[in-house]
Chains A and B, each alone.
Chain A
Amino acid sequence: MRELIVGLSYVGATFLFIIGLRGLTHPDRARRGMQYAAFGMLIAVCGTLINHEIVDYRWIGAGLVIGALIGYPLGMWVPTTALPQRIAMSLSFGALAAVLVGVSEYYHAFHGGEGSIPTATMAALAFEVLLGSLTVTGALMAFGKLQEILPSQPITYKGQNAVNFVLFAGAVGLLIAVVIHPEMTAAFYGMMGVAAMLGILMVIPIGGADMPVVVALLNSYCGLAASATGFALGNSILIICGALDGASGFLLSILMSKAMNRSFANVLFGAFGGGEPAAAAAGGSALPVRSISAEDAAIQLAYAKLVIIIPGYGMAVAQAQHTVRELAELIEKRGGEVKYAIHPVAGRMPGHMNVLLAEANVPYDRLYDMDEINGEFPQADVALVIGANDVVNPAARSDPASPIYGMPILDADKAKHVIVLKRGMAAGFAGIENALFHASATSMLFGDAKTSLMKLVSEVKAA
């Protein structure tokens, strides 16, 4: 009877989770959907509490309370600009939970338990612990880089890929050994250690702008580790949720890689940007650049019929999203139309810019994906580029020699005028000279994005 109730609670929860994810297909339904999903989680947790295996509730109760106390501030107080590192941290937590359950199962079997484990269960456990450990340290490294505790530039050294490959082969070798001989505890814990090392070393060479792919990929690993936990425990809801999470992460990483026209392998092993700064610096500095004053830029904006704003990571760093919205409202008041063009990899995680702008009260129907908006640039009077660089570099379309050639970009260069807000002439993350900045229709407004925008706001008001 108990078994049945537990089982039914899981079926109900699964149903609600899928309904919840389905809700995310539209912003109007999304909130309600996630409330269903949260309710599903409650059902599953309550169902588990009557599981006959559980005989002692003290540690569970303490864990639930402490977890809720840590989770609440992480949910309510973290600013939206810090979302990427917040997600990276929770990926690390999720993977850690999977690893600990795996180790606990293994420990139980070999230190005091039956002393043996069926091969299929052992394979699932080993897989879970391997993927989990890798994700724990990998996500922590990503967190460090995003939080800028660690340098966000790629850190590379000679033979890096060889070292990573050897570690990977070693981890897989230990996994096979421990599946064949589950009693080899040293191999099990060794595999855990090697996988943890690999997680660190794999993320070290990956730079800031590639983070969307890495975070999505770690999300996928985290899901697969949870799924493996389900296989090990014979628990279907874990298998299902892990698979959902894994599929989501996998899909997002494919989308992100596509948006950069690069393969997974290239992101993971390429260490973009570290390689060819010499070539980039050589041609660059001699080209002419037109700078513009805030007054002149404001006049262009004030009399424009259609302005397309292209936000990038620079806007997030300067926390300028609220000022952007203020400027947009002023332009609209004067009769102009403002649209936002969002490149899939703008920012440090999938959808980062959308959340920032939504937070600043920009209505979501003004936010356009790359494919929707690219046809409109020729009609735009002004394309306003705020802290974005590589995603508007026309070299991606025209210059087969460019490292970013083939990457889909926002066609800002097709607008009648382009105003670029930028700190200085430093090359973008990829270390590539941007031809857009030297085009005849482009004017550069140098300075901190937020300060420049505030100047623009007061000038447009006066115009």
Chain B
Amino acid sequence: MLILELYIFVLAGFVGYMVITKVPPLLHTPLMSATNAISGISLVGSMAAAGSHRGTIATILGFVAVVCATTNIVGGFLITDRMLKMFKRDVPKK
């Protein structure tokens, strides 16, 4: 199981590296906010912690983690979209 997970990690890191190398410096700020929003996927782990009856402390920790992760997802995708909306091509002069 561990070895399989390490395979996944290494391959995903490699894919990430290849894709992100091609992102132009123009879009580096949206890239940061986008990866930040995507890493909000830790929400799925937080949800399991907040919703699986493991005692009050575990639930509260999970709850705060859900809040943090959701904040990043919602805020991250919104701000990325807001930024990307601003990047416009030159309109041909009349």
Contact = CB atoms under 8 A, between A and B. Distances in A.
Given A54-B52, A76-B82, A240-B8, A248 B42 contact: no
Interface in B67-82: 67-82
B48 A67 contact: no
Contact of A55 (B12, B22, B53, B74): B53
Interface in B8-55: 8-10, 12-17, 19-55
Contacts, number: 379
Main secondary structure of the interface of A (DSSP, over half): helix
Contact of A354 (B2, B15, B29, B67): B29
A66 interface: yes
A275 interface: no
A222 B39 contact: yes
A299 B16 CA distance: 49
A108 B66 CA distance: 17
Interface string B51-63: 1111101110111
Interface residues of A, number: 115
B70 A64 contact: yes
B67 A70 contact: yes
Interface string A84-104: 001100110110111011011
B72 A108 contact: no
A93 B71 contact: yes
Contacts of B81: 31, 34-35, 38
A248 B35 contact: yes
Contact of B29 (A96, A233, A350): A350
B51 to A, nearest CB: 4
A71 B42 contact: no
Interface in A20-34: 20-22, 24-28, 30-31, 34
A104 B49 CA distance: 7
B93 to A, nearest CB: 8
A364 B26 contact: yes
